């Protein structure tokens, strides 16, 4: 009889069980009283009764996202403890723009070979992000998939669920000419543009992750691994004030040029003043080393702005003091008549 086994084919069930044992207490630490199931259930149960008590017409908001090839930077550095923060932040920010309060999170980790210690590091980052945001990590999937992924590589995907009062959904439909555009700073690439950044630093510039470049405070690798900012506290501080937020845009893949138009009504455009916020050295390094045109930079990277807020001009002086305990804020442009584009001046 043949001695063929699942493990011999490349899938180690024992490693999967070990990974669960390593993460289960961390995951449980994110549970609220509303989580009704433990780790290992086929599905996750979440009691909405108390959560929805303050809502008249609650609407669930869901989004799915990943961290792209930022995982390659983590692999090169053998540092996986922040990539989970990236995943949670990327997902949360995408529903914040609709005014939603995040509630639960699900993760998917796939790889060519499952290493329990690496999975534990990744989950630790997610747990940290969930704890800071008040989100319950209610479940996940770890998939060991030989012949599908390159050796040593991982893929991370997250699913976030939140809730918003129907009449408080932020759609952008009330944006009009003359409204101001406020930008909240990013701290680096966040989770987008890594394929281009890797090509520039590692292929064109011939740098290694441990190399230092003049102008960067950290090594190339650590600069690129800077965790994605979670804007939950920033956004809800503003939403809980007396300022009416007309539109929010998470500046992800496509940069300012592609993401701001997603919230604009027909017949409107946005004029952005390029020098109205501090530039981050990492972007000037990428542009210089790669010889990349300005427009390509702005449609690939966030260029130092991670979240955009559209407000009535009368609130221009009030935003900064409201947000200052969380971050700086910059008036980076205004709304004008146009065809749903972003113009750089």
Per domain, the residue ranges of the chain are 13-166, 180-344
Q: Residue 298 and residue 262: Cα distance in Å, rounded?
A: 16
Is the distance from CB of 313 to CB of 178 less than 8 angstroms?
yes
Query: Burial of 49 by CB count in 10 Å (0-12 exposed, 13-18 middle, 19+ buried)?
Result: exposed
Average pLDDT, the chain: 95
Say if residue 3's pLDDT is above 90.
no
Say if residue 13's pLDDT is above 90.
no
Which ranges constitute the DSSP H helices of the chain?
13-28, 70-77, 83-96, 116-133, 194-198, 220-224, 232-239, 255-259, 281-290, 294-298, 316-323
Q: What are phi and psi of 101, to 5 degrees?
A: -90, 120
Concatenating the DSSP letter of every residue in 118-182 gives HHHHHHHHHHHHHHHHT-EEEEEEEEE-TTTS-TT-EEEEEEEEEEEEGGG---STT--TT-EEE
Say if residue 14's pLDDT is above 80.
yes
Contacts of residue 307, Cβ cutoff 8 Å, sequence gap at least 6:
93, 96, 97, 183, 184, 231, 234, 235, 248, 249, 250, 251
pLDDT digits (tens, 9 = 90+) for 115-136: 999 999 999 999 999 999 999 9
pLDDT class of 344 with cuts at 50, 70, 90: very high
pLDDT digits (tens, 9 = 90+) for 24-79: 999 999 999 999 998 888 999 999 999 999 899 999 999 999 999 999 999 999 99
pLDDT digits (tens, 9 = 90+) for 86-125: 999 999 999 999 999 999 999 999 999 999 999 999 999 9
Q: Is pLDDT larger for residue 128 or for residue 22?
A: 128
The residue-averaged pLDDT of 235-239 equals 95
> Which pLDDT score is estimated for 8?
84
pLDDT digits (tens, 9 = 90+) for 190-225: 999 999 999 999 999 999 999 999 989 999 999 999
Name the DSSP letter for residue 286: H
* End-to-end CA separation in angstroms for the chain: 74
pLDDT class of 2 with cuts at 50, 70, 90: low
Q: Residue 303 and residue 282: Cα distance in Å, rounded?
A: 9
Is the distance from CB of 192 to CB of 253 less than 8 angstroms?
yes
Say if residue 309's pLDDT is above 90.
yes
CATH architecture, domain defined by 13-166: 2-Layer Sandwich (3.30)
Q: Is pLDDT larger for residue 278 or for residue 39?
A: 278
- Taking residue 205's Cβ as centre, other Cβ atoms within 10 Å add up to 17
Structure tokens at 203: 């292929």
> Which pLDDT score is estimated for 6?
87
> Which pLDDT score is estimated for 242?
83
Nearest Cα residue to 131 out of 235, 240, 28, 239:
28
pLDDT digits (tens, 9 = 90+) for 241-276: 989 999 999 999 999 999 999 999 999 999 999 999
Q: Which fold has domain 180-344?
A: Phosphoribosyl-aminoimidazole Synthetase; Chain A, domain 2 (3.90.650)
Is the distance from CB of 95 to CB of 50 less than 8 angstroms?
no
Is the distance from CB of 245 to CB of 318 less than 8 angstroms?
no
Structure tokens at 177: 């000419």
The residue-averaged pLDDT of 133-155 equals 93
Say if residue 314's pLDDT is above 70.
yes
Q: Which residue has the tokens 């845009």?
A: 249
> Which pLDDT score is estimated for 195?
97
> Which pLDDT score is estimated for 1?
59
Sign of CA dihedral 198, 280, 227, 80: positive
Query: What is the CA 185 to chain-centroid distance, rounded?
Result: 14
């Amino acid at each position: 009889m043949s001695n063929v086994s699942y493990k011999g084919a490349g899938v180690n069930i024992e490693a999967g069980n070990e990974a669960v044992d390593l993460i289960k207490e961390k995951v449980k630490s994110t549970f609220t009283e509303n989580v009704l199931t433990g780790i290992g259930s086929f599905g996750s149960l979440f009691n909405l009764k108390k959560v929805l008590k303050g809502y008249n017409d609650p609407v669930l908001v869901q989004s799915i996202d990943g961290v792209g090839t930022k995982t390659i930077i983590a692999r090169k550095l053998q540092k996986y403890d922040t990539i989970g923060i990236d995943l949670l932040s990327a997902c949360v920010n995408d529903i914040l723009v609709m005014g939603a309060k995040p509630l639960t999170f699900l993760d998917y980790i796939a790889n060519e070979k499952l290493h329990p210690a690496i999975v534990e590091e990744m989950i630790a980052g997610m747990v940290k992000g969930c704890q800071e945001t008040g989100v319950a990590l209610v479940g996940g999937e770890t998939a060991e998939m030989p012949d599908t992924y390159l050796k040593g590589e991982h893929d991370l995907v997250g699913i976030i669920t939140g809730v918003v009062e129907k009449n408080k959904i932020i759609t952008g439909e009330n944006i009009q000419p003359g409204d101001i555009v406020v930008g909240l700073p990013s701290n680096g690439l966040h989770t987008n543009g890594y394929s281009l950044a890797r090509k520039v630093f590692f292929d064109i510039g011939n740098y290694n992750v441990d190399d230092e470049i003049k102008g960067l405070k950290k090594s190339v690798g650590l600069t690129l691994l800077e965790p994605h900012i979670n804007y939950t506290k920033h956004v809800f501080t503003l939403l809980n004030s007396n300022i009416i937020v007309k539109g929010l845009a998470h500046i992800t893949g496509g940069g300012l040029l592609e993401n701001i138009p997603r919230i604009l009504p027909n017949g409107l455009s946005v004029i952005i003043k390029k020098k109205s916020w501090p530039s981050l050295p990492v972007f000037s390094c990428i542009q210089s080393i790669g010889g990349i045109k300005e427009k390509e930079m702005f449609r690939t990277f966030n260029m130092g702005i991670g979240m955009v807020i559209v407000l009535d001009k009368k609130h221009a002086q009030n935003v900064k003091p409201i947000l200052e305990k969380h971050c700086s804020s910059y008036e980076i442009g205004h709304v004008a008549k146009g065809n749903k584009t972003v113009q750089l001046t």
